[in-house]
Amino acid sequence: MRGGRSLLILLVVALGLGAYIYFVESERDPAGTDRREKVFAGLDRNDITELTIRASGADQATALRRTDGDWTVVEPVQTTADASAVDAILSSLETLELERVIEEAPGNLEPFGLEPADVEVSFRTSDGASRTLWLGSTTPTSSGLYARTSDSPRLLLLPIYHRSTFNRTTFDLRNRRVLELAQATVDEVVLEPSRGPAVTLTRVDGTWRLAQPIDTRADAASADSLVSRLSAAQMTSIVHEGDEPTPADLRSWGLDRPRLTITARTGSATATLAIGAERDGSSVYARDLARPIVFTIDQTLFSDLNKSADDLRVRDIFAFSAFSARRLEVARDAATYVWEKKAGEGDDSSTRWTQVQPDERDVNQTTMTDLLNALSTLRAERFVAQAPASGSRVEVAVQSGSAEAPQDERATLVRAGDSAYAIRPGEPGAAVIPAADFDAVVSHLESLTAAAESDTDSPDEGQ
């Protein structure tokens, strides 16, 4: 009986709990438990027209103003603002929620780092109203941040991460871009090192080309990377601003005779960056010649921009791939061989490589693919003024792409002693290629043209 009575009691408790959940909890706002009070109720970030921030330890506040949608730093300097930094602050002010209220009317704010405050953020809205947020010290467990506002005397607790959002110096809030460039619009870049020839890159119809000191193809990825680094470059500190720097100052920064001067042109507009001496192991002095400002940039930026013509040349000897090739012609030792990719006959929709010169016959498809891969992956290690006049030579002509828009490429491969070279017609000098890669081309070529390879391939041996 006792066990039955216990079971009955548990059943009554369960039914009571179920009734509570149904009649009480179902009436509660589902989002009510997660909803937190906004610190600035009713604030719309788009209504904020002025912003003043005094960062921790700063003697002077930074004042910003919005005009026609654009933010400008007006004190202590006048310059354009960093749009992303300002946007993060505006967004945080609009959405700022408090963790909880510590005290409704605290008598002494000093223990909370609010008398005086560590960080002060003031803003004015389009209706003329001004409001202020003061940030103090962190809680003993560093899990929260004490704060108060001009709206009420309450002592608030905010999430700790908001400190980094609002604690911004003038340097943090200003536009720190080295040059005002849009990467997509740059059509010429001139690199003038203190030693060595100037290098000019030009872009015509979306294609980069070297114009000096040599006229040749430029590597698109290398050129785009250089322009991208230049257009996105950021200052790491401000050294001088206001008046034009004196000649003595420029000498002290290594900017009287810059190690590298870079001029970027977009149509008729130009922007020029001069890079001087090292400041320390991680930064170098630099200046935008259009402004009376000297700053530092990261040391790696100088390395990324200080490129020679050889650094920017196309290093791939051929642009085709084994898949895109349609016709291959190779001349070696007074013999010329020509192969073409042909479609199957009848119901056979596959394509196969066939030798068409000096005689027509089937070839080993795997060996053919090996030869094409060996040719298509040839890459320059460096460049020289010219290749040796003597040595073993292989003349290569490749046609790739579609029949309607074929792409023709030619190169002469030369093996002289322990070195190998590739020469492209119409391009200056010669590329030095790995000798082992030259030997691989010759080995595949000899396998393909050997008399023993004249037998027909098996049906499943193709590409």
pLDDT tens for 390-443 read 999 999 999 999 888 999 999 999 999 999 999 999 999 999 999 999 999 999
Over 80: is that where the pLDDT of 17 sits? no
Would you say residue 357 lies in a domain? yes
Count Cβ atoms below 10 Å from residue 392 Cβ, excluding itself: 14
- Are 58 and 152 contained in the same domain? yes
Over 90: is that where the pLDDT of 16 sits? no
- Are 201 and 145 contained in the same domain? no
Its domain, for residue 425, covers 325-454
pLDDT digits (tens, 9 = 90+) for 116-128: 999 999 999 999 9
Q: Give the least confident one: 164-178, 252-266, 346-360.
A: 346-360
- Are 152 and 204 contained in the same domain? no
Over 50: is that where the pLDDT of 445 sits? yes
Mean pLDDT of 361-377: 96
- Are 209 and 248 contained in the same domain? yes
Distance CA 79, CA 77 (A): 6
Whole-number pLDDT of residue 453: 45
**Number of structural domains in the chain:** 3
End-to-end alpha-carbon separation of the chain, Å? 84
Distance CA 326, CA 339 (A): 8
- Are 191 and 153 contained in the same domain? no
Whole-number pLDDT of residue 268: 86
Whole-number pLDDT of residue 31: 40
- Are 332 and 384 contained in the same domain? yes
DSSP helix/strand/coil, 34: coil
Identify the band that residue 450 occupies on the pLDDT scale cut at 50, 70 and 90.
confident
- Are 334 and 390 contained in the same domain? yes
Q: Would you list the DSSP string of 35-69?
A: ---BSSTT--GGGEEEEEEE-TT-SS-EEEEEETT
Mean pLDDT of 343-368: 86
Would you say residue 51 lies in a domain? yes
